[in-house]
Amino acid sequence: MQIDDLDTFLEDADPAGDLTPDERRQVAAMAARSAPARRRRPARPVAAAAIAASLLGVGAVAAAAAGSQWSPWAQDDPLVSISYVPPSGATCELRFGNLTAVSEEFGEVIRDTVASTRLTDADVAAALEHHDVPHDFFPEDKGYDIGVSMALQLRIRAALEAHGILGQSASYESELVCS
């Protein structure tokens, strides 16, 4: 791949590139508000959660630009997936995987939690509120996708904590594709 092709590929894979200037200002303001200048309570990673969730589709966008909907781990070996329908009526699938964990229990907890979760619109709205993300901050579907991701992350965290393995050295990825 030549440098010009790589630049084009990376520009096409930028999910934040479709944000309007006003949305970019709102993201910057949210990041400024969440800065740990003075902590009266434990800091919530508001901007980090919102930005991470908005970048949820990075792998999918990059893979789509390369001719595949899913990155290799999500296509070949997802741990678990969940499907849902955002306000537009599209069909979305969020896959979890690419797990690196000390114990098999970590992956089992994630798989069981996601597989048994049935989110409602109220769950999605509550997750956005929990992370102090304004309901009208993102375009409708993008905000809903972020809320789904946040709601699942909250449930996964609670399940890992309930099993006493929350602090375990482990990681996993999630990837979203809507059609």
Question: Rounded mean pLDDT of 155-167?
Answer: 92
Average pLDDT of the residues in 144-164: 94
130 in Cβ contact with 154 (< 8 Å) = yes
- How confident is the model at residue 45, as a pLDDT? 41
CA-to-CA dists, residue 139 to 38, 41, 55, 144, angstroms: 31, 30, 14, 9
pLDDT for residue 168: 79
Indicate the angle between helix axes 140-162 and 104-116, nearest 10 degrees: 130
Distance of alpha carbon 169 from alpha carbon 33, whole angstroms: 29
Q: Domain spans of the chain?
A: 3-36+43-178
Q: Which of 170, 136, 158, 147 is nearest to 30 (CA)?
A: 136
The answer to whether the pTM exceeds 0.75 is no
pLDDT in tens, 82-133: 999 999 999 999 999 999 987 899 999 999 999 999 999 999 999 999 988 8
Helix, strand, or coil here: 78?
A: strand
> Which tokens sit at 159?
């399940």
Q: Cβ distance 54 to 31 under 8 Å?
A: no
